[in-house]
Homo-oligomer: A and B are copies of this chain.
Amino acid sequence: MNESKGRSIPETVKGVPEPTLRRLPLYYRLLKQLRDSGRAGVSCTMIGTELKLDPTQIRKDIEVTGTVGRPKVGYDINELICAIERFLGWDNTVEAFLVGAGSLGEALMGYGGFTECGLQIVAAFDVDPTKCHRVMHGKHVRHVSKLPNLMRRMKVRFGIITVPAAEAQQAANLLVEGGVLAIWNFAPAKIQVPERVIVTNEDLYCSLAVLSQKMTRKLALSRSKGGSKP
């Protein structure tokens, strides 16, 4: 499709739409299930039925991974799984530092599921002296002051922030000092970083807003139809 230079992922100048990126893990998960159940091939129609999504959209999403399918047949499941892994960068291990060994941080450290995506938390950092020098789920917790140097020495380039919102900027600064490339920020706070650093906020309040507004709206509508008096 491009000049065929031996790479199968097309290096588009424009990035891939974020909605597409957010759907790929959904396909990935389903595909693994299908593979485990013994299937070898899959069509967009089938994925769409399963996930309640439009088959054309799925086809376009799959296209960005560089996988080609065959009419009437669909895609080879293994090939597709590998392509998604490769496209998302889940085929390589990425080591990460976690800042803030509190309850959320500890839950993330104990969670094994992200190894599937190549993500491996290798150490945690905290300001609380009672948390430092401990080992949580096999990971050392060190004092934050050690973070930048250790990060450079270990060549770690991925950071996870799970400190209180008020401390998030400080945590981000340390990661930047350590040469971080990407930050997954769980604190409900906006952090300022140099432009080269990629940030994704896991802001639970945003999801909650969607849910509670829809619920509120539905209640309001049903009340106005049901007709309780003012």
Contact = CB atoms under 8 A, between A and B. Distances in A.
Interface string A181-197: 11010001110000000
Interface residues of A, number: 63
A26 B206 contact: yes
A1 interface: no
Given A88-B212, A213-B89, A113 B230 contact: no
Contacts of A157: 215
Interface stretch (A17-25, A126-134, A142-150): A17-25
A6 interface: yes
Interface in A139-182: 157-158, 181-182
Dominant secondary structure at the A interface? helix
A114 to B, nearest CB: 7
Given A211-B198, A216-B89, A224-B11, A117 B205 contact: yes
Contacts of A9: 220
Nearest to A192: B52
A107 B113 contact: no
A122 interface: no
Q: Chain B CB within 10 Å — which of A188, A204, A209, A221 has the most? A: A209
